[in-house]
Amino acid sequence: MNTLTELRSTAPWLVHVSTDIVVFGIGHDGLRVLLRRHPPRAGADAPWALPGGYVGPVEHLDRSAEHTLAQQTGVDNVYLEQLYTFGRPDRHPASRVITVAYYALMPPRRVEEINARPTPEVRWYPIDRMPDLYLDHAEIVALGRRRLEAKLEYSTIAFQLLPTEFTLSELQRVYEIILYEKLDKRNFRKRILALDCIEDTGRKRRDGSHRPAGLYRYKSPGKVHYLK
Amino acid sequence: MNTLTELRSTAPWLVHVSTDIVVFGIGHDGLRVLLRRHPPRAGADAPWALPGGYVGPVEHLDRSAEHTLAQQTGVDNVYLEQLYTFGRPDRHPASRVITVAYYALMPPRRVEEINARPTPEVRWYPIDRMPDLYLDHAEIVALGRRRLEAKLEYSTIAFQLLPTEFTLSELQRVYEIILYEKLDKRNFRKRILALDCIEDTGRKRRDGSHRPAGLYRYKSPGKVHYLK
DNA sequence: GCAAAAGTGTTGGAGATACACCCATGA
DNA sequence: TCATGGGTGTATCTCCAACACTTTTGC
């Protein structure tokens, strides 16, 4: 029995596979998710959806997510991680579509890039004020948020949401926004510095009528470490 | 533009989707994984593989995993959780096959059931002495093991590997096997009892020439809780 | 000089770790 | 009576939480 025969006899079914990406960013108003019209160019009554698309014939799943994201939002080279695979047989009305969900984190510069050239088809929404979403995309966002929240506690994932140089207050804000709670400044600083994963650049940022803040740099940009 | 047109134009590609399951059990010799010949009935030179099969046309992914497991090993009603989706385009030699990997945990009774009626096609292997596996299945097992190890620390997942009634020493053995380290008996007991998730049945098990051990019961059988 | 955010140390409590001996049983 | 695993308590340490005032700047 060769492999092809085996496939024929036990796997007559073919399905569509897509990737959908929950893109998180930090804005003035808190945690945001990037949404697009589905389908694009369908006008104002088309539902909002996650960026996403079908997986090509010889495309790695991760590449598909990256590629889709670049195509639909113009953004590449961000932190991207597989989230979960959703496969309810009735989740798509027209055909069987299984979706491999990812989530992405981008620094404020990227968030602003998208804001800077707004289109009617792609925009940021505050995560707690999103419109109704296409299919089960709200569920996917919710899962992504939970994962992000969990990872914050035992990894250095937060730095993916910050620019290369940042102040400790900015970092604390990221934690407070995602964890949804106020943190003590002194304890936070002690904890972060004890991780030994950031270093003082020696530079300062002047920013309003108050004392300038020290600028720090994450020691291993682009990499996420797991603690303990 | 209706949904079908949209599918046609942006998603001409169909792929095979399978589920593969890493079944863990505790044996005399430590952590074990259930393997089967691939394909079944192909004889002694067929490679060993994870239980798994193609997803049916209207089958939920989770159901597909459950169903496959029941069919290939005769075991149902075990703890099952999605692990990760593997989609390298060249992972299968004959066609594009994306696999949604799951892991399952079963109590010793189930482990013994399978041992009791051995077949040449399905058997347990100690996780550190597995043969070469089909395709990327070794990678899937490795990921499952890491996930299991991680979850042990922040959830009550260990109880899925034990019978309804168990001794504290048995529980400790599960932790030691998975964490790969010796634990202090007194500290372990204090920690577990502090979780307040097991109760003393009052009964004891006589078992060899030593003092009998108290039997405990997990308070929420089948359910996994997350700590903290 | 005042408003606004940056920066800084100490104390107390909870939970984890280290550690050694007696108990109940079967042979 | 001995070998085997079952069962128990205390002292210490580490980590986390609580908490308030001084500094530097722009206006």
Which bin fits B141, alpha (ψ -120 to 50), beta or left (φ > 0)?
alpha
Task: Provide the CATH number for the domain formed by A4-152 in this structure.
Answer: 3.90.79.10
Instruction: Supply the pTM of this predicted model.
Output: 0.92
Calculate the dihedral angle through the C-alpha atoms of A91, A92, A94, A98, rounding to the nearest 10 degrees.
Answer: -100
Chain B's closest residue to A93, CA to CA, is B3
Look at the block and give the residue holding tokens 């108003």.
A29
Q: Give the nearest partner residue to B60 out of A10, A88, A93, using CB atoms.
A: A88
D strand bases under 7 Å from protein CB: 3-10, 16-20, 23-27
- In this complex, do B13 and A89 lie within 8 Å of one another by their Cβ atoms? no
Interface of B with A (CB under 8 A): 1, 3-4, 6-7, 10-11, 13-18, 39, 42, 53-62, 64, 82, 84-90, 93-96, 98, 100
- In this complex, do A14 and B11 lie within 8 Å of one another by their Cβ atoms? no
Cis status, amide bond into B39, omega within 30 of 0: yes
List the domain boundaries for chain A: 4-152, 157-218
- In this complex, do A7 and B17 lie within 8 Å of one another by their Cβ atoms? no
Strand A52-54 to strand A16-27: parallel, antiparallel, or no bridges (unpaired)?
A: antiparallel
Arch. (CATH architecture) of A157-218: Orthogonal Bundle (1.10)
The spacing between the Cα labelled CA in B155 and the C1' in D20, in angstroms, equals 39
Query: Phi then psi for A126, rounded to 5 degrees?
Result: -60, 140
Sheet (strand B198-205) strand order: B165-166, B213-218, B198-205
Q: Which residues of A touch B98 (CB under 8 A)?
A: 17, 55, 61, 100
Residues A3-34 have pLDDT tens digits of 333 333 354 688 999 999 999 999 999 999 99
Chain A's closest residue to B68, CA to CA, is A10
The spacing between the Cα labelled CA in B218 and the C1' in C6, in angstroms, equals 51
Decide: residue A55, CB within 10 A, 0-12 exposed, 13-18 middle, 19+ buried: buried
Alpha carbon distance B40, A205 (integer Å): 66
**Per-residue tens of pLDDT for chain B, all 228 residues:** 333 333 333 546 889 999 999 999 999 999 999 999 988 778 888 999 999 999 988 889 999 999 999 999 888 999 999 999 999 999 988 888 999 999 999 999 999 988 888 888 999 999 999 999 999 999 999 999 999 999 999 999 999 999 999 999 999 999 999 999 999 999 999 999 999 999 999 999 999 999 999 999 999 999 999 998
Nearest to A99 by CA among A114, A84, A113, A110: A84
